[in-house]
Structures are given as C-alpha cells and as structure tokens.
Amino acid sequence: MFSRKNHLNKNIQKIGMLNHHVRFSHYFPFLKKEINEIFLVHSIDGFVNSLFGIFVPIYLLTLGFSVSQVLIYYILKYLAVSAFFFLVGYISNRLGLKHTMLARLPFFLLFLILLYFLSSIYIPLIMIILLHAFYEAMYWMPLHSLFARSAKHYEMGSQVGKLSSLPKIAHIIAPLIGGSITVFFGFGTLFLVSMVLLATSIVPLFYTPEIKPHVKFSMREVKDIVKKHIKYFLGLGFQYISDSAEIVIWPIFVFLTLRSLLSIGMIGSLLAAGGILFTLLVGKLSDKVNKKFLIRMGAGLMALIYFFRFFVSTEASIYLLTILAGFFIVLLFVPFDSIIYNIAKKSNIDEFIIIREIFVTIGRISLLIIALAFVDRLGVTFIVTSVSQLFFLFF
C-alpha cells in the first residue's frame, strides 16, 4: 500500500512538472524548442562575460601582477578547465545537464568576490584560478552537450551561426559598458553588475525538461574516438591557438600599447560588430556550400590578419585589424564548429565533448607558453598564430 502511494505521488509530481513546462511555453512560445532555450541562455551568459571577461587580464595587470603572471594564470586556468570537464561529466550524470549549469552560479559569485578582494587582502591566486576554471567547465560542458543534442544535422551551420552571433549582439555594447563602469565606478561595481545579471541567466534553463547524460569513460573508447577523428581534433588545437590570441594576448597587447581601459572595451565591441550579420550569413552558407572551402578561406585571411598585427603601433590600425578579425574569423570557426558538432551527434556525445576539450586546451596553452617565452615581445605570438592557421589550408 505504501509503495503504491509513493508511486502515485511520483506520477503526480511528474504531471506537475509537465504542467509547469506547458505553462511557461504558453507564455513564451519562443522557448518551446530546446535549441531556442540554449540560444537565450548563451546570449545572457555572453553579455555577462563580455562585461567583465575581457577585463580580467587587465585587472590583474592593474593590481601589479606582471604579464608573465597573467599568462601563467591563464595557462593554469585552461589546464584546470580541461581536467574539470571530466568531473563535470560525472556530475551531470547525477544532476542533469541543466541543473549542472545552474549549479555553477555560486562558484561564479565566489570567483568574482575573491577577485574583487584580491586588491585589498591576500588571497592565494590558485583559489581564484580553480574557481574560474570550475564554473567555466560547469557551463561549457553542458552547453556543448545540449547544443549537439538539440541542433539539427541538416542545418547545423546556421544554428552554429546563431549560437555564435546572438551573444555578439550583446558584445557590441557590453565591453563599452564594462569599460565605462570600470573607469567611472571601479572594478567592484563591474563585478556586482555581472553577478546580478548572471543570476537572470538561470531562468530560461527549465522551460523544457531536464536531460541526464550517461558519461562512462574507458581508455579504449577514448583511444578509438581520438584515432577515428584525429584530423578534426588536431584542427581544434590549431583553431584555439587563435582563440587564445584573441581572448588573452590581443587585449594585453592593446592595453600595453595604448594604456587605456576604454580601448579594451572598444576592441571587444569592434570584434563583435565585425561578426554579427556575417556570422549568420556564413552559418547559412556553410549548409549549402563546401564547408572546407570556407574554412580554408577564413584560415588564409586570419593568417594575414595576425601577420599584420605584428607590425601595428597606432590606435587606428589596432581598431581596423580588430574589426577585420571579427569578420574573417567567422569563416573558420562557424563551418569548422558545425563539422565538430555533427561528428559529436554521431558519436557518444558527452565523451566526445570532453575529449574535444583536451585538444582545445592544448591549442590554448601552446600559444600562452610561447607568449611566456617572449613576454617582452608579445608580437611574436601573432606570427606564430599566423603560421598555425596555415594548417587549415591543407585541411
């Protein structure tokens, strides 16, 4: 009798949850499709990260950390993110992908609090690095997994384009807002605004039912996946060399050249402005034409952009090369990412996503280690990045 009651209560709870989703879908029909829910969550998160993310290395520099220490910060962070992807995979087994994304919030808040008080009290930097890495892993692993499940194979390019371009709408104004807040009110206010906004990003997560993955690794499976798709994993490494150049090296280089916080906000906005409509166009185009042709074109143009960055010294040339990068990097990233997500759909999605992160990390830290070796001549990293993009000409 008792077990029947429990069974009945569970069924009532399930019906209640279903009605909950139906009610929200009634008021927000846009969110009836899980892919749209992902777009909205990613857009809000993108806005928050573009408010402060580009300023983290600059903030550390203003606190008296050397360029070498900032580079080490990011090397350790990316290594930790890759390691945490494995842990987050198993956490997702228990909590579900969406609840895992939700659970990142307190780690994000603690990260920002410690980062803010770093200016006034002693806090071991490794604590901040680990928190930064853990909340990122708790966001990106579920996001990649949910997107690979939800996106349609035959329109993967256009949906990758949307995933990439929608946050860029926020990126146009967010870095300028972030720069203005920092100049007039300080980093503390910037961090507080970021915390409040990120809290709103959790709302759209549960308009559709939860998904629980089944992450279960074996060394044999890892070897099989890597061996089968080695060309694409190597491509990820070279792709994310340029990602490190854009996210870490270029902002530091611009700050050291122009010595202006507002200029950092400007390059973030220009990079986004250069890519929004073009990203959507390339996404649709990659579903209709040969993806490898677009990848080769993008890689060739980005190789030229990075080569010319070695010689820049004026504000106008910095802004010009930033907005051109916003255009041309899309030709590489959108079609290549659509290939990767389609491969993930045909594989064990969650295991593939976690292995993917290993090669992403190798690419990211490779350039940062080179930057560490040439810390007084950061322009050298742009030559290295330029050469690395040539891999895709033979892809």
User: Which stretch of 94-108, 134-148, 272-286, 379-393 has the lowest confidence by average pLDDT?
Assistant: 272-286
- Reported as a single tens digit per residue, the pLDDT across 307-326 is 999 998 888 888 888 888 87
Q: How large a percentage of the chain has pLDDT more than 70?
A: 82
Question: What does the block give as tokens for 28?
Answer: 């927000």
Is pLDDT at 297 greater than 70 in this prediction?
Answer: yes
CA distance 378 to 249: 7
Could you give the C-alpha distances from 342 to 149, 157, 307, 329, 352, in angstroms and in order? 10, 10, 32, 20, 11
CA distance 382 to 309: 6
- Reported as a single tens digit per residue, the pLDDT across 17-60 is 434 444 444 444 444 577 888 888 888 887 777 766 666 888 89
pLDDT of residue 31: 46
Question: Per this entry, what is the length of the chain?
Answer: 395
One-letter amino acid at 33 equals: K
Using an 8 Å Cβ cutoff, are 395 and 290 in contact?
no
Where is pLDDT greater, at 25 or 110? 110
- Which region, left, alpha or beta, applies to residue 259 given φ > 0 means left and ψ of -120 to 50 means alpha? left
Element (DSSP H or E) covering residue 108:
helix 105-117
Buried-state track 275-302, b at ≥16 Cβ within 10 A, e below 16: bbebbbebbbbbbeeebeebbbbbbbbb
Please return the burial class of 11, using the count of CB atoms within 10 Å of its CB with bins 0-12, 13-18 and 19+.
exposed
Give 182's pLDDT tier (boundaries 50, 70, 90): confident
**All residues at 6 or more sequence positions from 323 whose CB lies less than 8 Å from its CB, including other chains:** 270, 271, 273, 274
User: Which stretch of 69-78, 162-171, 233-242 has the lowest confidence by average pLDDT?
Assistant: 162-171
User: Which stretch of 6-10, 87-91, 111-115 has the lowest confidence by average pLDDT?
Assistant: 6-10
CA distance 311 to 247: 19
pLDDT of residue 323: 81
Is pLDDT at 197 greater than 80 in this prediction?
Answer: no
Q: Which residue has the tokens 């010294």?
A: 313
Please return the burial class of 376, using the count of CB atoms within 10 Å of its CB with bins 0-12, 13-18 and 19+.
exposed
- Reported as a single tens digit per residue, the pLDDT across 44-100 is 887 777 766 666 888 898 889 999 999 999 999 999 999 999 999 999 999 999 899
CA distance from start to end of the chain: 65
**CATH architecture of residue range(s) 32-394:** Up-down Bundle (1.20)
Is pLDDT at 14 greater than 50 in this prediction?
Answer: no
